[in-house]
Amino acid sequence: MKYATQRIAYPYIVVALVLFALQVIFGVLAGTVYVMPHFLADVLPFSILRMVHTNALIFWTLLGFFAAAYYLVPEEAEREIESPMLAYVQLAILTIGGVASIVGYLFGYHGGREFLEQPLWVKVGIVVAALIFLYNISMTVLKGRKTVVATILLIGLWGTALFFLFAFYNPANLAVDKLYWWDVVHIWVENVWMLIMASVLAFMMIKLTGVDREVIEKWLYVIAALILVSGLIGTGHHYYWIGAPAYWQWLGSIFSTLEVVPLFALVFFAFMMVWRGGREHPNKAALLWALGTVVAAFFGAGVWGFMHTLSFVNFYTHGTQITAAHGHHAYYGAYVSINLAMFTYMMPHLRSFRLPYNQILNMWSFWLMTPAIFFMTFTLTFAGVVQVHLQRVMGMNYMAAQQQLDLFYWMRLGAGAVVMIGAFLFIYATLGPAKREEPAYMARVPEVTGGETV
Q: Over 80: is that where the pLDDT of 453 sits?
A: no
Determine the pLDDT at residue 446.
46
Lowest mean pLDDT among 106-110, 252-256, 332-336: 106-110
Write out pLDDT tens, residues 329-386. 999 999 999 999 999 999 999 998 878 899 999 999 999 999 999 999 999 999 999 9
User: Do 351 and 6 touch, CB atoms closer than 8 A?
Assistant: no
Q: Over 90: is that where the pLDDT of 203 sits?
A: yes
At the second CATH level, the architecture of 1-145 is Up-down Bundle (1.20)
Distance CA 108, CA 30 (A): 16
Write out pLDDT tens, residues 62-100. 999 999 999 999 999 999 999 999 999 999 999 999 888
Write out pLDDT tens, residues 139-166. 999 999 999 999 999 999 999 999 888 8
Give the residue extent of every domain in the chain. 1-145
**b/e per residue 29-59 (b: at least 16 CB within 10 A):** bbbbbbbeeebeeeebebebbbbbbbbbbbb
Task: Give the count of alpha carbons within 13 A of 354, CB side only.
Answer: 9
| Orientation angle between helical segments 284-297 and 359-387, nearest 10 degrees | 10
Q: Which whole number is the average pLDDT over 424-436?
A: 90
- Residues pairing with 448 in the sheet: 453
- The phi, psi pair for 285, rounded to 5°, reads -65, -40
Determine the pLDDT at residue 176.
85
Determine the pLDDT at residue 41.
85
Rg (CA), the chain: 22
User: Do 265 and 223 touch, CB atoms closer than 8 A?
Assistant: yes
Distance CA 260, CA 186 (A): 16
Write out pLDDT tens, residues 158-190. 999 998 888 888 888 888 888 888 878 788 888
Least Cα distance to 143 among 80, 93, 223 occurs for 80
**Chain-wide mean pLDDT for the chain?**
90
